[in-house]
Structure 1
Amino acid sequence: MGKRAAGFVLFRRLCGQIEYLLLKASYGDFHWSAPKGHVDPGEDDFTTARRETKEEAGYDEKDLIIYRDKQVTLNYEVKGKQKIVIYWLAELRDPNQPVVLSEEHTEYKWLAKEAAKECAKYKDYQGMIDNFHVMILEMDKNKADCP
């Protein structure tokens, strides 16, 4: 079995725009991604996602609207080994609440969908952003349809 990781794809609504949070890793290829991390022994995926988001971006569960029914699983290879990463969609309640970076990251950016996809670079990650964006728009449409 490959390594497992979990995290939240965080978005905020600011001035009518949907923006996604990307963090720049301070190691390896200095890639940009959402907060995520390895599942610790005895920990479930969702607990890992909450813990890693707090550690890497400074956001606690109370800071977020977490959509537990909105998730995407990515499977890919890292250094010849399979890796499985489960991401849930989560919205920042206060769009102006600052990010608090850990030592694992050197920068962060809030980016609109296309800019986030360009920054992330990996095809599967780009597809995930597209999928989550469609989910957000669908939720917004459903809210608008309700009297």
Structure 2
Amino acid sequence: MDEVDRILASWAKELPELDTSPLASLSRISRLSRHLDRARSEAFAAAELEPWEFDVLAALRRQGPPYELSPGELIHETLSTSGTMTNRVDRLQARGLVHRRPNSADRRSVLVRLTEDGRLRVQSAMTELLGFERRVLAPIAPAQRDQLADLLRTLLAPFERS
């Protein structure tokens, strides 16, 4: 029995007419998300990065050389807003982790490029993160991990359709 089971039992006692079965899965996902967020913050701190910094740097790193995206592409990749992204790029540039350069294809826009320091930090953070996530998933068999990923993809899809 875990905390969610105790919560469900309490609701069943207090509001027996309600079907609380969705809480069995979604409350566990929510609680797991909070635990993962805390652990991820610790993994990123080893590389002296905040979670939002990792998100932006990782979006750039995943692109491959020359590790650059437009601010609009970064907004899409990180699920943030224009104002938020401007502030984030400013802060990352001040730390020397990214720099802006004019977009040769469109002189009205810029591209954000990962610096070597940014690349090294995000790579270090990713290594820490993957080690942690492997430990989290260790209790379940590889086939179950694949099944879990498929089920979560199905749940996530309606939220991510654009």
- TM-score, L = length of structure 2: 0.26
Task: From the two aligned structures, give the one with the greater helix fraction.
Answer: 2
Higher RCO (CA 8 Å, separation ≥ 6 residues): 1
Higher-Rg structure is 2
Task: From the two aligned structures, give the one with the greater strand fraction.
Answer: 1
- TM-score, L = length of structure 1: 0.27
